[in-house]
Amino acid sequence: MVRKLPSKDVVIIGLCWTGAILAHELTDEGLDVVAIERGPWRDTASDFPPSYAPDELRYAIRGELFLQPKQETFTFRHKPNEMALPIRQFVSFLPGTGVGGAGVHWNGQTWRFLPTDFNLKTHLTSRYGKDFLPADMSIQDWGITYDELEPYYDKFEYLCGTSGKAGNLNGVIQEGGNPFEGPRKRAYPTPPQRQPYGPTLFAKAAIETGHRPFPQPSSNLSQGYTNPLGVTLGECTFCGFCERFGCGNYSKASVQTTILPVLVRKSNFEARTNSEVLKIEKDSTGKKATGVTYIDASGETFFQPADLVIVCAFMLDNARLMLLSGIGKPYDPVSGEGVIGKNYSYQLTSGVTAFFDDKIFNPFIASGAIGMMIDDYNGDNFDHGPMGFVGGGYMGMGQTGARPIQTRPVPPGTPRWGSEWKAATAQHYNSTISFSTHGSNYSYRDAYLDLDPTYKDTHGRPLMRITYDFHDNDLKMSGFLTDQLASIVNAMGAKQVVKSPRKGPYDTSIYQTTHVCGGVIMGEDSATSAVNKYLQSWDASNVFVIGASAFPQNAGYNPTNTVGALAFWAADAIRTQYLKNPGPLVQS
Amino acid sequence: MMLHMKPRYGLPLAAILSVVGIASVAQAGEPQSFDQIARGRDVSIASDCQGCHTMPGGLPFAGGLALQTPFGKLVAANITPDMQTGIGSWTDEDFYNSLHEGRGKGGELIYPAMPYPAYTKMTYDDAMALRAYLRTVEPVTQDVVSNQLPFPFSIRASLNVWNALNFTQGTFKPDPNLSPDANHGAYLVTALGHCATCHSGKTSLGADEPKAFLTGGLLQGWWAPDITGNMRTGIGGWSNDDIVQYLWTGVNRFSVATGPMMETVTNSTSKMSKEDLGAIATYLKGIRGDQTAAPPKAAADTVLELGKVVYTDNCSMCHVQNGDGVSGLFPKLATNGSVQSLNATSQIRVVLQGGRGVSTQAAPTAPAMPSFGWKLGDAEIAAALTYVRNSWSNAAPVVEASDVKKLRDNLGGED
């Protein structure tokens, strides 16, 4: 039996970065907001204190902060003609759950996308011609411009206290910053983090080889900072337990360190944890959501009516909830019609490792986002005409941690276990550094999400099915980036340089990033996108779907800053436009 | 959404004080006057009535909060205007006597857990304003049995003896040697705020020890630190602004309010005006405190070495290697008076159990310290605290492993 609860103004599904931002903005507007989160409440001192948080086995290997496949998993296949099987261990990407979501265990890398990333299709076809793009590539413009999003990037960066060096202030290129970035209205809230030895050497080699290095923007803070909400963060101590870990000393931006202290003081906000939304309910017209049905930890099912439903789950679950709820037409890869599940994209990273004899790098002195990077080969920052591919990525040396279980840098040919392997580890641990490329992944007609016809979750609902593989364009792009990176690294004078280009087929058992995107994409046209430029469903105007699910394709950057900016952007549209006149903000 | 909008109506408390001695009966006779009620609310806030008379999550002023005293349990009374179970049937005289003489309706003696030794200093006007304000709160029918003390303390007549020995009745008299601002602070500290209830040393009968005025006190398993102007153990090194910021927001560049002070900040000081808080700062800074404390005995090098290792591995990621902390987030340990207090109970306690800072509208972060009781042994905690108390120009007595063990045992399974 489903118990009906008193109605709320707003129900938010998922209390992560986007959910907390929307909750904060809409409670400020005076609305009565409830957030329903499938995972537990999480707080710094009780859930990841410095007294035990640096536990690699517990958090990095066993993944205590991640979604567990037993609670929910996804099925996977490479091609539409294959049978998909459930992923039984999350390795390739690490979905978040619990209060704070994946934003608890992120690295704090806080990039803006390039202006041309937002009008990608228009830009590439006008520069290179329509026939330059592969026939099955399904990239689209976002329906929003960089200039529109700039104030909201600013908001998210100032919420986090992001440490960085501006490269373009109001159109004026700044020495030492990223000269390729879009113009920003003001500098980062805090100066860049101090750089260790390895990134410093990389930057020197990058300059010598004609590139323009800059410190990676980091939301692990270079100094204490109080954000506009009045919440204070501390200074990062370079403990090296960042990615996959919660931050014990309040120096990594997360909802715990930036928003929750203010949100929990509000009497018009409520969070219900360990409660999973099963479905968004619709009225008889099918054009309006009436609320959500959810199940709590005791197994009781509730209907929470609400005027506004904001979907802020992990991006795969955003798409899944839309499909399970029948909001928007499911994507059909044969006809290319339909929108929900369309344009699932990911990321193509690659690495270069350099073995030195005469240097000590102390790689354990690390933060999730320290490093020196170049952006010369990202997006369309270079001429793709002679290349035969589109896309790109940033690259450089980031010192994100060298923990004992997962960091065993040994030269090729070393045995994979035993005394020789141990001796090689001891010899190379301190004198080896790794570099990486962070490449884009453009979308393709046969990369998409739909409901699995076979496998179901504990509630009897079909699992989400992922159909995805790398395509030649993107592998070519990644190979090019890897070669460029290796040529810079070679200038550093290492004894041995080893390239690890990304190779197909895609393998869910190899970690890359958690930057999975798409499925509920934003756009200008209701025939080709699931949500409009304000992330409002074309099909049910009181449903907004926030997250990387809105990316029509992925750029060569980490997505969190763009996700945060879109959350502020959508919240602003709701506050200033929707509430005055509830209904579609863009006519389809 | 709790918009913390506090209208500044009526006279500020500073203005009220200036009429001490020319108490106007006319004002006292206007219980429905807006000014009177607003002033009474400010008196209630400055006196932190809700701190005891409202249960956490309970109805305002309906009583029920149990105080653990060294003599047994006392429960704060229902002071809503309910006729049967509250103070609705009290006359103004009953009300004033309860504050001024420690006698309730019908002359019944009140236990001094209700700080009438401080409230006796409250002006008649302020008492009547408070009375007027309390008439406006919602009457709640809730029978509270205040006296839950064991025999012989349960005999109220025993209080006659206690009062004779410990209680001096009398309204606050400004000190002609102090500035008006300092006198205003003195009134807030000694009459309304009853700071000495926690922050002063106690006699064996539980009364404030005059020689230990505001130099720190032990209460409910916490050491309330020295808040005199003493440069080493007190707050002499804090500027007036530091003190105001601490009281108003719960944090400043030195410290974060936790434990019982967290409740005081939440219910009382964060709602007071900055003028009143500034007067408190002026008054406290002017108290010389105990300048005679013997220099602490030096700790053994081996203890300090162990302490430094424990500190580096467990504490430095927040409090920073040089003890500077992070302003508004992690307390500064270097040159911090409360770190150098003679009694280390509160320090041992937060290391064992952890602790959360207060959340206020002005400083909502509420940073928390995790518990280390499960991880560190008695000797390690003692060494780390001894190191902290004797580094970076700090100087304070050694903390013994036996001190840690004793508190650990007292706190039971709480850590």
Closest CB from A44, A229, A232 relative to B328: A232
Inter-chain contact B362–A230, Cβ cutoff 8 Å?
Answer: yes
Tens-digit pLDDT profile for residues B289-329: 877 666 677 888 999 999 999 999 999 999 999 999 999 99
Active site residues per annotation of A = 515
d(C-alpha A356, C-alpha A432), whole Å = 6
User: How many beta-carbon pairs below 8 A join chains A and B?
Assistant: 80
To the nearest whole Å, the CA of B405 is away from the closest chain A CA by 20
- How many CA atoms are closer than 13 Å to the CA of B136, on its beta-carbon side? 16
How much is the average pLDDT of B371-377? 96
Domain layout of chain B by residue ranges: 24-165, 180-285, 301-414
Q: CA-nearest residue of chain B to A28?
A: B1
Judged by DSSP in three states, A481 sits in: helix
Inter-chain contact A250–B329, Cβ cutoff 8 Å?
Answer: yes
A248 interfacial to chain B (CB closer than 8 Å): yes
B363 interfacial to chain A (CB closer than 8 Å): yes
How much is the average pLDDT of A218-222? 98
To the nearest whole Å, the CA of A200 is away from the closest chain B CA by 24
Residue A124 has phi, psi (to 5 degrees) of -65, -40
Continuous segment of H or E residues that includes residue A306: strand A301-311
B370: chain A residues, CB-CB within 8 Å? 45-46, 49-51, 248
B318: chain A residues, CB-CB within 8 Å? 50, 234, 249-250
Closest CB from A28, A49, A266 relative to B370: A49
pLDDT above 90 for A456: yes
pLDDT above 70 for B12: no
How much is the average pLDDT of A565-581? 98
How much is the average pLDDT of A365-384? 97
Closest CB from A27, A261, A264 relative to B1: A27
A28 interfacial to chain B (CB closer than 8 Å): yes
pLDDT above 70 for A457: yes
Inter-chain contact A234–B326, Cβ cutoff 8 Å?
Answer: yes
To the nearest whole Å, the CA of A400 is away from the closest chain B CA by 17
pLDDT score of B11 = 41
pLDDT score of B223 = 94
d(C-alpha A250, C-alpha A45), whole Å = 9
Q: What is the β-pairing status of strands A301-311 and A289-295?
A: antiparallel
Closest CB from A30, A49, A224 relative to B326: A224
Inter-chain contact A268–B329, Cβ cutoff 8 Å?
Answer: no
A179 interfacial to chain B (CB closer than 8 Å): no
pLDDT score of B29 = 53
Inter-chain contact A50–B370, Cβ cutoff 8 Å?
Answer: yes
A419 interfacial to chain B (CB closer than 8 Å): no
Q: CA-nearest residue of chain A to B311?
A: A51
Domain layout of chain A by residue ranges: 2-49+93-578
pLDDT above 60 for B205: yes
B316: chain A residues, CB-CB within 8 Å? 237
Continuous segment of H or E residues that includes residue A484: helix A472-490
For testing contact with chain A, the best of B327, B365, B376 (most A CBs within 10 A): B365
Find out whether A406 and A60 touch, Cβ atoms under 8 Å: yes
For B221-224, the CB contacts below 8 A with 24+ separation are B221/B345, B221/B349, B221/B407, B221/B410, B221/B411, B222/B259, B222/B260, B222/B345, B222/B346, B222/B349, B223/B341, B223/B343, B223/B344, B223/B345, B223/B346, B223/B347, B224/B198, B224/B199, B224/B260, B224/B261, B224/B346
pLDDT above 50 for B66: yes
Closest CB from B364, B368, B372 relative to A265: B364
Inter-chain contact A46–B370, Cβ cutoff 8 Å?
Answer: yes
pLDDT score of B208 = 82
pLDDT above 50 for B21: no
How much is the average pLDDT of B187-202? 95
pLDDT score of B156 = 78
B330: chain A residues, CB-CB within 8 Å? 234, 249
pLDDT above 70 for A492: yes
pLDDT above 90 for B67: no
pTM score, whole prediction: 0.92
To the nearest whole Å, the CA of A310 is away from the closest chain B CA by 19
How much is the average pLDDT of A150-157? 98
Find out whether B389 and B376 touch, Cβ atoms under 8 Å: no
d(C-alpha B116, C-alpha B100), whole Å = 6
Helix, strand, coil percentages, rounded to 5, for chain A? 25, 25, 55
B415 interfacial to chain A (CB closer than 8 Å): no
Which token pair is A484? Answer: 């460029």
- How many CA atoms are closer than 13 Å to the CA of A216, on its beta-carbon side? 32
A44: chain B residues, CB-CB within 8 Å? 367-368
pLDDT above 50 for B76: yes
d(C-alpha B153, C-alpha B200), whole Å = 23
Which token pair is B337? Answer: 């008076």
Domain boundaries B301-414, corresponding CATH code: 1.10.760.10
Inter-chain contact A50–B363, Cβ cutoff 8 Å?
Answer: no
**b/e map of A439-469 (b: 16 or more CB within 10 Å)?**
bbbbbbbbbbbbbbeebebeeebbbbbbbbb
B252 interfacial to chain A (CB closer than 8 Å): no
- ipTM computed for the complex: 0.89
Inter-chain contact B364–A49, Cβ cutoff 8 Å?
Answer: no
Is residue B65 classed exposed, middle or buried when 0-12, 13-18 and 19+ CB atoms within 10 A define those classes? middle
Find out whether B383 and B301 touch, Cβ atoms under 8 Å: no
A232: chain B residues, CB-CB within 8 Å? 251, 326, 328-329, 363, 365, 367
Closest CB from B1, B326, B372 relative to A268: B1
Going by the DSSP 8-state scheme, the letter that residue A111 receives in this structure is P
Average pLDDT, whole number, for chain A?
Answer: 97
To the nearest whole Å, the CA of B361 is away from the closest chain A CA by 8
Inter-chain contact B2–A248, Cβ cutoff 8 Å?
Answer: no
C-alpha closest to that of B279 among B307, B240, B235, B230:
B240
B265: chain A residues, CB-CB within 8 Å? none
Inter-chain contact B367–A229, Cβ cutoff 8 Å?
Answer: no
Judged by DSSP in three states, A44 sits in: helix
Find out whether B284 and B227 touch, Cβ atoms under 8 Å: yes
d(C-alpha B163, C-alpha B158), whole Å = 9
For testing contact with chain B, the best of A220, A221, A249 (most B CBs within 10 A): A249
For testing contact with chain B, the best of A231, A263, A365 (most B CBs within 10 A): A231
Closest CB from A51, A261, A264 relative to B370: A51
Inter-chain contact B375–A28, Cβ cutoff 8 Å?
Answer: no
Split at pLDDT 50, 70, 90, the class of A228 is: very high
To the nearest whole Å, the CA of A305 is away from the closest chain B CA by 20
How much is the average pLDDT of A266-285? 98
Tell the CATH topology of A2-49+93-578: FAD/NAD(P)-binding domain (3.50.50)
B85 interfacial to chain A (CB closer than 8 Å): no
Judged by DSSP in three states, B359 sits in: coil
How much is the average pLDDT of B211-218? 92
How much is the average pLDDT of A548-567? 98
B314: chain A residues, CB-CB within 8 Å? 50-51
Inter-chain contact A249–B317, Cβ cutoff 8 Å?
Answer: yes
Split at pLDDT 50, 70, 90, the class of B413 is: low
Find out whether B235 and B228 touch, Cβ atoms under 8 Å: yes
To the nearest whole Å, the CA of B261 is away from the closest chain A CA by 19
How much is the average pLDDT of B47-55? 93
- Where is average pLDDT lowest: A201-215, A568-582, B66-80, B123-137? B66-80
To the nearest whole Å, the CA of A242 is away from the closest chain B CA by 14
pLDDT score of B23 = 38
